[in-house]
Amino acid sequence: MFEVVAFYLFAALTIAMFTITVMTSQALYALTAMAAGMIFISAFFFMLGADFLGVVQIIVYTGAVMALYAFGMMFFDTTRTMVEKRENPRTIFILGVLAATLVVFIFISPIISTHLETQYPLEAASGNSQAIGMILFTKFLVPFEVAAVMLLVAMIAGIVLAGKKMDKSLTLMAEEEIALMGANEAKPDSQEGAH
Instruction: Name which of 60 and 183 has its Cβ closer to other proteins.
Output: 60
Size of the site for other proteins (CB under 8 A): 28
Quick note: the x/- pattern for other proteins over 44-73, rule CB under 8 A, is: -------xx--xx-xx--xxx--xx-xx-x
- Residue 80 half-sphere exposure, CB side, CA atoms within 13 Å? 7
Q: Is 76 in the site for other proteins (CB under 8 A)?
A: no
Q: Report the alpha-carbon angle 65-71-73, nearest 5.
A: 110
Helix, strand, coil distribution of the chain in percent, nearest 5: 70, 0, 30
Q: Is 78 in the site for other proteins (CB under 8 A)?
A: yes
**With b meaning 16 or more CB within 10 Å and e meaning fewer, what string describes 156-189?**
eeeeeeeeeeeeeeeeeeeeeeeeebeebeeeee
φ, ψ (nearest 5 deg) of residue 168: -100, 145
Instruction: List the interface residues with other proteins, window 130-169 (CB under 8 A).
Output: none
Are the C-beta atoms of 195 and 184 separated by less than 8 Å? yes
Q: Which region, judged by CB under 8 A, interacts with other proteins, from 25-33, 114-122, 151-159, 162-170?
A: 25-33
Determine the length of the chain. Answer: 195
Instruction: Name which of 29 and 44 has its Cβ closer to other proteins.
Output: 29
Instruction: List the interface residues with other proteins, window 98-137 (CB under 8 A).
Output: 127-129
User: 102-109: long-range contacts (C-beta < 8 A, 24 or more apart)?
Assistant: none
Pick one of 29, 135, 173, 184: the residue that binds other proteins (CB under 8 A).
Answer: 29
Least CB distance from residue 138 to other proteins, whole Å?
18
Tell me which amino acid residue 107 is: F
Instruction: Name which of 76 and 107 has its Cβ closer to other proteins.
Output: 76
Grouping H, G, I as helix, E, B as strand and the rest as coil, residue 90 is helix
Instruction: Name which of 127 and 143 has its Cβ closer to other proteins.
Output: 127
Least CB distance from residue 27 to other proteins, whole Å?
9
Residues in contact with other proteins by the rule CB under 8 A: 2, 26, 28-29, 31-32, 35, 39, 51-52, 55-56, 58-59, 62-64, 67-68, 70-71, 73-74, 78-79, 127-129
